[in-house]
Amino acid sequence: MTYQQWLKQAVTRLRGSESPRRDAEILLGHITGRTRTFILAFDETVLTQDELAPLDGLLARRERGEPVAHLVGMREFWSLPLAVSPVTLIPRPDTECLVEQALGRLPEQPCDILDLGTGTGAIALAIASERPDCRVTAVDFIADAVALAQQNAQTLGISNVNILQSNWFSALAGLQFAMIVSNPPYIDGQDPHLHQGDVRFEPKSALVADDGGLADLAHIIHEGRNALLPNGLMLLEHGWTQGEAVRRLFTDAGYLQAQTCKDYGNNDRLTLA
């Protein structure tokens, strides 16, 4: 069977996915070790038996809905190849908006930045890689996530990030930062979105929060007042219907200039204050 023939039948089998062709190409590239360019240019290449068996195994798992990122163990974020695992959220392109806003608003001089609930380390590593003069502290509640983020920092050779285990601010007493960023859990536990696509295979602890999804956002906003330097900035990702509620949480907690920004799909996605 050639690359082209395998892709054709894989696309048919993956028609339940939002992106059958892209999924199939990624799985093929993962098993053959070939780039997408090679696969498309040399699509008459014949697959060996050693490639076909694991490829069909991955295809069957993808057919059952497992995220492509879990099947290949990596996902690119801000052009950084990150190891991913089922212990954390899979980094999303929407979260790159948060990185973009954070980078655009950091002071020019070196400063300290905090990323809460870092997961794979995506946000922290993206910021640290762009601002080697700054020091990024990244925390996660889950020990396996801390290990994964540390592994990513090491693989990428990013050394200006310090990753530690902490339940939000619990291990950070007395520390203050020029900027605090977070993509916390913000989905309501009843949201039907939780029964569709990749989220079914991601940890609820990274997705779901009490109070209609606002509990962790509220906690971070309240506790964060003591962890921000004067004129410090907090940037939080949230759901596209939560902009007004998050702005109110910020202003009720005494923050100034709460402002919501949209993501690449033109939906409210993050609020900064």
Pairing verdict, β 161-165 and 135-140: parallel
Choices 40-48, 139-147, 164-172, 178-186 (CB under 6 A): range interacting with ligand GLN:
178-186
- CB nearer ligand GLN, residue 3 or residue 78: 78
CB of 97 to ligand GLN, least distance (A): 11
Site map for ligand GLN, 186-225, x if CB under 6 A? xx-----------x-------x------------------
- CB nearer ligand GLN, residue 119 or residue 160: 119
Number of chain positions touching ligand GLN (CB under 6 A): 8
From 74, 108, 109, 76, select the one nearest 93 (Cα to Cα): 76
- CB nearer ligand GLN, residue 172 or residue 207: 207
**Minimal CB distance residue for ligand GLN:** 207
Distance CA 60, CA 71 (A): 11
- CB nearer ligand GLN, residue 10 or residue 146: 146
- In the 3-class helix/strand/coil scheme, how is the chain assigned residue by residue? CEHHHHHHHHHHHCCCCCCHHHHHHHHHHHHHCCCHHHHHHCCCCECCHHHHHHHHHHHHHHHCCCCHHHHHCEEEECCEEEECCCCCCCCCCCHHHHHHHHHHHCCCCCCEEEEECCCCCHHHHHHHHHCCCCEEEEEECCHHHHHHHHHHHHHHCCCCEEEEECCCCCCCCCCCEEEEEECCCCECCCCHHHHCHHHHHCCHHHCECCHHHCHHHHHHHHHHCCCEEEEEEEEEECCCCCHHHHHHHHHHCCCCCCEEEECCCCCEEEEEC
Site map for ligand GLN, 56-95, x if CB under 6 A? ---------------------------------x--x---
CB of 219 to ligand GLN, least distance (A): 14
Q: Is 78 annotated as a binding residue?
A: no
Distance CA 214, CA 186 (A): 6
Q: Is 6 annotated as a binding residue?
A: no
CB of 240 to ligand GLN, least distance (A): 9
- CB nearer ligand GLN, residue 74 or residue 270: 270
Classify each residue of 185-200 as buried b or exposed e, where b means 16 or more C-beta atoms within 10 Å of its C-beta.
Answer: bbbbeebeebeeebbe
Choices 30-38, 135-143, 183-191, 221-229 (CB under 6 A): range interacting with ligand GLN:
183-191
Would you count residue 169 as binding ligand GLN (CB under 6 A)? no
Pick one of 129, 183, 242, 260: the residue that binds ligand GLN (CB under 6 A).
183
Q: What are phi and psi of 128, to 5 degrees?
A: -60, -35
Pick one of 91, 121, 185, 224: the residue that binds ligand GLN (CB under 6 A).
185
Which residues are documented as binding site for S-adenosyl-L-methionine?
117-121, 140, 168, 183
Binding site for ligand GLN (CB under 6 A): 89, 92, 183, 185-187, 199, 207
Which residues are documented as binding site?
117-121, 140, 168, 183-186
